[in-house]
Structure 1
Amino acid sequence: TVVSEALINAYAKCGNIELCEKVFHEERVSGDKISISLFSAMLAGYAQSQNSGRSIWLFQQILHEGMRPDKYATSSVLSVVDVEELGKQIHSFAVKTGLSCDVSVASSISTVYSKCGSLDEAFQLFEGAVERDVVFWTSMIAGFADHGQPEKAFELVRKMQFEGLNPDVFTLSALLTACSVCKSLRKGKEIHGFALHFAMEGQNLVGSSLVNMYSKCGDTVSSFRVFNRMPEKDHFSWSSLISGLAQNGYCEEALMQFHEMLKDGLKIDSFVVSSLLGVLSSLTYVELGKQFHAQTIKTGLEFDLTVGSSLVTMYSKCGNIEDSRKVFDLLCATDVVSWTAIIAGYAHNGQGLEALQMFEQMLEKDIEPDAVTFVGVLTACSHNGLTEAAYGYLDSMEKDYSIKPGIPHYACMVDVLGRSGRLEEAVKFIDAMPLKPDALVWGTLLGACRLYENVELGKLVANKVLELAPSDSGAYVSLSNMSAKIGNWGDVTMIRNLMNDF
């Protein structure tokens, strides 16, 4: 049994789960009584291979055979549980058997709650634990970081150090995720300094997390520098670099690095493809987009919801709404992101009625819209002059879906009124806004003033824009063009002189 256990552990570390099962099966048919440690080794093998189904099945088999799972079996099965109800059942079992007092089991239970978004339960368990090791602290820090609460993650690591425990590579990775969430380059650099001091930068997990942090914080130079120093580049580091370049506007460099990644023999994933499709959307490179589409078909990523939604957006932004709709119709499943993508696609291509029809279909399928969906809906109303319908959708946001309208929604509404020539009503609407109007809102009205050659109102609105955004050259240009149209060349000269002075 000891030899079999060692073999299962060795095969599991090599990722060969078939050989693990073969050794385990031979022990079962041998007629000898199997120890709980052998069950635990096999369960750990399933957990390491992320086979949640077989892990849970084997845990149940242990119970059915009248054996009591030990802390290793319990921790292993918890590591692959991502359903809160099942986590609660195993938690109850651990409390009854006394296993919940073990630090590894308590940490694993807390992690399940964190993964499921129940941070209060996770933290309550963490606070009440008799013993807390680095793994337990890191689990809780990661929970806060992954769920958009970076300040709590930073506070926790300070308490951890106060108790005499030093962060390990996993802790640093979680903290760098927290820095990415709050876009804190300063804190990220402090953690980088800590990693250098304790010779952790060379660790693949820390290096990849640093690349991701610098990319998310917009420091692509540092991201490249860390990436180039990494002894081994894994999938996460490549993905972080490429998506960071893409999202920070370095489109050509992102595409070059993508080709380098392929040369390295690494497979593309949905994260990289979605980022690059976003680049191609902004550049309207539809032919290159089609090549990426073909690549997703070859790799099977076309069925990934994130990639599918990105393809819908890419085709629509390139003006090819027909192919956008074809991709949408081929999606095996749809969510609010994919529906929003097709609604926005129709809206931005001037097919507002089709956009609103898609919105109604979305509601019929019981998919609840979010704030971004309503931007697409209001844009559709704007492009079709549906003023009263736009008012109705704006009211519906908070009334029916508890979504508070933001600046983008109010700007869309001003655009609806402006395109319809209802400029005075638009001014009253802005004055009655519950939020302070920004340059986007006033700039939208300025565009309508230019369209309808309302110079007097245009001057007032332009001043509002320039108060909020003095460097907005568009306001100067709009005002200059309106003055030129009515032959007021004195104002044109004065405005251009102001631009030159600026």
Structure 2
Amino acid sequence: MQSKTSSYLANLLQFCIDNKIHKARKILHAYLLRTNQFSNTFLVNRLIELYSKCGHPTSAHLLFDQLSARNIYTYHAVLDAYCKSNDIDNAYEVFAQMPERNSVTWNLIITALSHNGFEKKALENFYLMMMGGFVPTRFTLASVLSACGGVSDVGCGKECHGVAIKLGLEGNFFVGNALLGMYAKCGFVWEAIEIFKGLPEHNEVTFTAMMKGLMETDRIHEAFDMFKLMHRVGISIDSVSLSSVLGVCAKSSFEDFVVVNDNDRNWYNVHGKQIHGLVIKLGFERDLQLNNSLLDMYAKHGDMECAEMLFDNMSEVSVVSWNVMIGGFGQKYSKERALEYMEKMKNHGFEPNEVTYVNLLAACVKSEDVETGRQMFDDMSCPSLSSWNALLSGYSQNEHHKEAVMLFREMQFRNVQPDRTTFAIVLSSCAQMGLLDGGKQVHAALLKDVAYTDLYVASGLIGLYSKCSKIEMAKHVFDELPQYDVACWNSMIAGLSLNSLEAEAFIYFKQMLGKGMLPTEFSFATNAGTTNVSLGCQDQHCEYVKILFYNRYLAK
């Protein structure tokens, strides 16, 4: 009789789980207590799973703690509860306590870590899983590839690609989309395109990932063409796809997607407005995230009139909406309007956050009111790195270089970790002041930081030593770089020219061409100036530069 009752209860619990009958959980829990069924591990496991499906991880864990005879399914049930509620700390604690694990366990924890911003931890556990001899599933690989993209670890991504090929999962829909997204996020667009071509079918996720990858590598026209292809072949366009293409429109320059209206000479982002029309046509006009993307698109293009019209007609707004408007007016050098919107934001019951203050700080800086910006900065209880960088930029742009250097020192005293932007700004200020000792101190700080090999920062170092007449140090920085970009070459060439080493500057210019690096207008301008004052074969040099300039720019 007991066996029949247990079998009936097990079927009833499974029926409630499958059909998400949440209200039955307490009744069944009480019945198990009343009939002394808590010694039945199988039934309690099902009850824990029911609590998990109902979104009650704490209740699931209480049952877990009360159960003395646990098995791997007990652990799975409570682990799944925490993973589904994104409670990573408790999930990892349960995972660490498990006496044994299988592929399902590993998949649960890796997926949860990857989806909640713990990409590096997800990759560490993936390697542990592989070392334990467990075979990853398509879901494991998809999560790991997403984590690789999140931290731009293309090396690990390629290893996972190899595993996918070995397991015959490369053409799997989930794995294929994840591979495409990983390569796109890491900037390997050609590899992403090859994956895209090789997939047996495509959906909105595939197209959106491809579109984002093209956008992030500044291939704006191709990104928008991908959206047009998606629309043409009949792929369902969802809010995520629309938000992504609005990001493409926001990132585009005026020359990319604009026309001029001869009547009022105003610029219009044609494609952005077309997407706005599509948002309305598809019935997404009340979608808050999409409306925020539209606001951002208009604000990035300085069309605050359209942004205001949209904002005033939105059925719902968020802190993000207010921040976009404040940032948009800041970009338009309208500090007063930005401050006005912050006051409105407070009056409507929204609390300004760090982004709000950074946007206001940037508005003050752009309006050349660095003093007000500093007052606002000093009122922040715990300014973020973005706030420090915004004020540093304001000092530097307004030629308050001494204040920029002093602010950098204050950052060090307060143990605020600088980033590449911080270093580049303070190096520029040191260079403008000819402050060699200060620049050397920044260089020393760089040696302790991974930013030392960053090309953006290296270019600033080269500029500093060049302007302080320490050209050998500039050469040393240049020679130590693992790779080069055109900005570094330009800085080195300009530095040599500044120190009256024109012939050597021209040699570097030819080396740049020999490395396959396409020169910019700055490269030609520097060398045109160099050859005009160089000794010996200056006329020959100048003619050579003129020919290159013609081939590069005028013969298009």
Aligned with 2:98 (options 118, 125, 129) = 129
Q: 1:470 to 1:161 in 2, by over 3 A?
A: closer
Separation in 1, partners of 2:340, 2:397: 18
User: Is residue 438 from structure 1 mapped to residue 423 from structure 2 by the alignment?
Assistant: yes
Separation in 1, partners of 2:281, 2:465: 49
Q: 1:151 to 1:281 in 2, by over 3 A?
A: closer
Aligned with 1:493 (options 512, 515, 529) = 529
Separation in 1, partners of 2:207, 2:428: 39
Structure 1 residue aligned with 2:273: 290
Alpha-carbon distance, 1:231 to partner: 1.7
SS at structure 2 position matched to 1:200: coil
Structure 2 residue aligned with 1:165: 134
Q: 1:195 to 1:351 in 2, by over 3 A?
A: same
Structure 1 residue aligned with 2:522: none
Task: Answer yes or no: is the 8 Å Cα contact 1:378–1:412 preserved in 2.
Answer: no
Q: 1:157 to 1:426 in 2, by over 3 A?
A: closer
> Could you state the TM-score of these two structures normalised by the residue count of structure 1?
0.73
Gaps of 5+ in 2: 1-6, 38-42, 258-268, 413-417, 434-459, 467-473, 478-486, 499-525, 535-540, 546-556
Separation in 2, partners of 1:184, 1:133: 26
Separation in 2, partners of 1:465, 1:197: 52
Alpha-carbon distance, 1:91 to partner: 2.1
Separation in 2, partners of 1:378, 1:245: 32
Alpha-carbon distance, 1:179 to partner: 0.4
Task: Answer yes or no: is the 8 Å Cα contact 1:251–1:279 preserved in 2.
Answer: yes
Kindly provide the CA deviation profile for residues 267-288 of structure 1, in whole angstroms up to 9, marking residues without a partner as x. 2223322221122122244221
Separation in 2, partners of 1:491, 1:197: 53
Task: Answer yes or no: is the 8 Å Cα contact 1:476–1:495 preserved in 2.
Answer: no
Gaps of 5+ in 1: 1-33, 47-53, 449-459, 481-489
Range 423-432 or range 281-290, more displaced: 423-432
Structure 2 residue aligned with 1:103: 72
Separation in 2, partners of 1:118, 1:320: 41
Separation in 1, partners of 2:96, 2:243: 39
Alpha-carbon distance, 1:128 to partner: 1.0
SS at structure 2 position matched to 1:350: coil
Structure 1 residue aligned with 2:58: 88
Q: 1:185 to 1:72 in 2, by over 3 A?
A: same
Separation in 1, partners of 2:246, 2:429: 28
Range 204-213 or range 386-395, more displaced: 386-395
Separation in 2, partners of 1:495, 1:249: 34
Q: 1:316 to 1:497 in 2, by over 3 A?
A: farther
Structure 1 residue aligned with 2:186: 217
Separation in 2, partners of 1:497, 1:39: 91
Task: Answer yes or no: is the 8 Å Cα contact 1:375–1:408 preserved in 2.
Answer: no
Task: Answer yes or no: is the 8 Å Cα contact 1:382–1:415 preserved in 2.
Answer: no
Range 151-160 or range 214-223, more displaced: 151-160
Structure 2 residue aligned with 1:464: 464
Task: Answer yes or no: is the 8 Å Cα contact 1:410–1:441 preserved in 2.
Answer: no
Kindly provide the CA deviation profile for residues 97-121 of structure 1, in whole angstroms up to 9, marking residues without a partner as x. 568x343452343244345453221
Any residues of structure 2 matched to 1:134-283 within 5 Å, and which? Answer: 134-283=103-252
Cα RMSD of the aligned pairs, angstroms, is: 4.0
Q: 1:329 to 1:109 in 2, by over 3 A?
A: farther
User: Is residue 78 from structure 1 mapped to residue 49 from structure 2 by the alignment?
Assistant: no
SS at structure 2 position matched to 1:211: helix
SS at structure 2 position matched to 1:56: coil
- Number of aligned pairs? 432
Amino acid at match of 1:493: G
Structure 1 residue aligned with 2:504: none
Task: Answer yes or no: is the 8 Å Cα contact 1:386–1:416 preserved in 2.
Answer: no
Amino acid at match of 1:75: E
Alpha-carbon distance, 1:80 to partner: 6.1
Structure 2 residue aligned with 1:59: 25
User: Is residue 310 from structure 1 mapped to residue 284 from structure 2 by the alignment?
Assistant: no
Alpha-carbon distance, 1:228 to partner: 1.7
Aligned with 2:365 (options 364, 382, 388) = 382
> Could you state the TM-score of these two structures normalised by the residue count of structure 2?
0.67
Separation in 2, partners of 1:97, 1:491: 78
Kindly provide the CA deviation profile for residues 135-170 of structure 1, in whole angstroms up to 9, marking residues without a partner as x. 111111122222333332222223223333221111
Kindly provide the CA deviation profile for residues 63-116 of structure 1, in whole angstroms up to 9, marking residues without a partner as x. 4777986644643552462xxxx31122213443568x3434523432443454
User: Is residue 409 from structure 1 mapped to residue 390 from structure 2 by the alignment?
Assistant: yes
Alpha-carbon distance, 1:222 to partner: 1.1
Kindly provide the CA deviation profile for residues 192-246 of structure 1, in whole angstroms up to 9, marking residues without a partner as x. 0011011111221111111111111111111121122112223322221122222
Task: Answer yes or no: is the 8 Å Cα contact 1:305–1:334 preserved in 2.
Answer: yes
Range 168-177 or range 57-66, more displaced: 57-66
Percent identity (aligned): 24
Separation in 2, partners of 1:269, 1:289: 16
Structure 2 residue aligned with 1:20: none
